[in-house]
Chains A and B, each alone.
With several copies, the nearest count.
Chain A
Amino acid sequence: APPRLSLICDGRVLERYILEAKEAENVTMGCAEGCSLSENITVPDTKVNFYAWKRMEVGQQAIEVWQGLALLSEAVLRGQALLANSSQPSETLQLHMDKAVSGLRSLTSLLRALGAQKEAISPPDTASAAPLRTFTVDTLCKLFRIYSNFLRGKLKLYTGEACRRGDR
């Protein structure tokens, strides 16, 4: 395997981003005031139904992860901009938002090196691929929960399987 492949396959690397996301989620969990966003932001669906996931084509899993990650990155950038424009942005929230922006960029790069982008655009039956399910969120607390659930779920599952395939 090329050396870049091993980086995200080192579970501790991904774990760092997951822990960062959980921390951001925990920090905003209770906040009502100062947490609402001035507009709705579109985010990917984080839900994993294991019965369905196990029966899904690798290409479809890759689409869910790759496109989901792109949408999530846009959402967090939008959140960052809205937070910066709000009347009294909290420094803590801004730091978590900045770390999320930075982390999602790293994860995108790591997943590209793992081949997720290629897998996501070349499934044999592209026509039958289901469109990406999305939601909208209107608070930072929901945005960070999506961020955390996406990393812990789809991203971690896909990465684990892709790394095992790469091992063979």
Chain B
Amino acid sequence: PPPNLPDPKFESKAALLGTRGPEELLCFTERLEDLVCFWEEAASPGVGSNNYSFSYQLEGEPWKPCRLHQAPTARGAVRFWCSLPTADTSSFVPLELLVTVASSGALRYHRIIHVNEVVLLDAPVGLLARLADEGGHVVLRWLPPPGAPMTTHIRYEVDVSAGNGAGGAQRVEILEGRTECVLSNLRGRTRYTFAVRARMAEPSFGGFWSAWSEPVSLLT
């Protein structure tokens, strides 16, 4: 769970999602045992986390409050966030979220989500590229995001770019659970750069693509 001070990892994940829609209430889970929801707005003097009230309800259970935190964003706005306790981050059940203005009770946000549908994994790690012994193929291997849940349910996407920028990038989809691939249609004597990203597989899960892994490169 993010502390009250800006955490670089939370910051980068929030930025990854924030590009989808400013002024929206966004939520994500990293390991299915956590959930953080946040929104960003223009900073205005005197407006702080006490001005809003955040509450949530798992279907069939009572409404509970979630304590709001705030921090300045890298882009000069302010971000409000709250992090649910592990005991309440249940999947496969509707979770209703409500943000109101504390003074007036006016509705600010209302969303119903499923925790299993808002997974935002860390990037995969340990990406290695090597030339196969024969045929000029390139073999890529990597590891699932550290600490990621249910690794057999993670699918990946590989990005292949020719180093000189010519020919553009190519994306290769990897079946869930697999952490390697063989690329056979690459040009010879070319420097290629590879990266890989992860997401939980449908239909049981859903969410967002992770950030790209550290890239590796190789001369074919």
Residues of A within 8 A of B (CB): 3, 6-7, 10, 12-13, 15-16, 18-19, 22, 45-51, 80, 95, 97-99, 101-103, 105-106, 109-110, 113, 135, 145, 149-150, 152-154, 156-157, 160, 164
User: Which stretch from B18-26, B132-140, B145-153 is at the chain A interface?
Assistant: B145-153
When C-beta atoms are compared, the residue in chain A nearest to B149 turns out to be: A50
Residues of chain B from 81 to 122 with CB closer than 8 A to chain A in the complex = 85-94, 114, 116
The secondary structure that dominates the B interface is loop
Asked if B92 and A106 sit within 8 Å, CB to CB, the answer is yes
Asked if B93 and A51 sit within 8 Å, CB to CB, the answer is no
Q: Contacts A12-B150, A12-B152; is A106 near B91 (CB within 8 Å)?
A: yes
The CA-CA distance from A135 to B60 in the complex, in Å, is 8
Asked if A152 and B86 sit within 8 Å, CB to CB, the answer is no
Q: Which B residues touch A153, using CB under 8 A?
A: 91-92, 116, 204
11 contacts between A and B (CB under 8 A): A3-B203, A13-B204, A16-B149, A19-B203, A47-B91, A49-B87, A102-B89, A105-B93, A109-B90, A113-B92, A160-B153
- Closest chain A CB from B214 CB (angstroms): 28
The secondary structure that dominates the A interface is helix
When C-beta atoms are compared, the residue in chain B nearest to A97 turns out to be: B87
Asked if A80 and B87 sit within 8 Å, CB to CB, the answer is yes
Asked if A46 and B203 sit within 8 Å, CB to CB, the answer is no
Q: Which A residues touch B204, using CB under 8 A?
A: 6-7, 10, 12-13, 18, 152-153, 156-157
Q: Which one of A13, A49, A156 lies within 8 Å of B90 (CB-CB)?
A: A49
Q: Contacts A102-B33, A109-B59, A135-B60; is A48 near B92 (CB within 8 Å)?
A: yes
Task: Decide yes or no whether B71 CB sits under 8 A from chain A.
Answer: no
Asked if A145 and B88 sit within 8 Å, CB to CB, the answer is no
Task: Decide yes or no whether B196 CB sits under 8 A from chain A.
Answer: no
When C-beta atoms are compared, the residue in chain A nearest to B153 turns out to be: A12
Task: Decide yes or no whether B58 CB sits under 8 A from chain A.
Answer: yes
- Closest chain A CB from B194 CB (angstroms): 27
Task: Decide yes or no whether B129 CB sits under 8 A from chain A.
Answer: no
Q: Which one of A22, A45, A152 lies within 8 Å of B116 (CB-CB)?
A: A152
- Closest chain B CB from A13 CB (angstroms): 5
Asked if A46 and B86 sit within 8 Å, CB to CB, the answer is no
The CA-CA distance from A45 to B150 in the complex, in Å, is 21
Asked if A46 and B33 sit within 8 Å, CB to CB, the answer is no
Q: Which one of A16, A95, A110 lies within 8 Å of B86 (CB-CB)?
A: A95
The CA-CA distance from A50 to B31 in the complex, in Å, is 9
Q: Which one of A13, A16, A101, A154 lies within 8 Å of B87 (CB-CB)?
A: A101
Asked if A106 and B90 sit within 8 Å, CB to CB, the answer is yes
When C-beta atoms are compared, the residue in chain A nearest to B86 turns out to be: A98
When C-beta atoms are compared, the residue in chain A nearest to B31 turns out to be: A50
Residues of chain B from 28 to 54 with CB closer than 8 A to chain A in the complex = 31-33
Q: Contacts A105-B58, A135-B60, A153-B116; is A49 near B89 (CB within 8 Å)?
A: yes
Q: Which B residues touch A51, using CB under 8 A?
A: 33, 86-87, 89
The CA-CA distance from A145 to B58 in the complex, in Å, is 14
The CA-CA distance from A10 to B153 in the complex, in Å, is 10
Q: Which one of B33, B90, B153 lies within 8 Å of A47 (CB-CB)?
A: B90
Q: Which A residues touch B85, using CB under 8 A?
A: 98
Asked if A48 and B203 sit within 8 Å, CB to CB, the answer is no
- Closest chain A CB from B153 CB (angstroms): 6
- Nearest 4 pairs between A and B by C-beta? A153-B92, A98-B87, A98-B86, A47-B93
User: In this complex, which of A102, A109, A160 has the most chain B Cβ atoms within 10 angstroms of its Cβ?
Assistant: A102
The CA-CA distance from A18 to B33 in the complex, in Å, is 15
The CA-CA distance from A151 to B32 in the complex, in Å, is 18
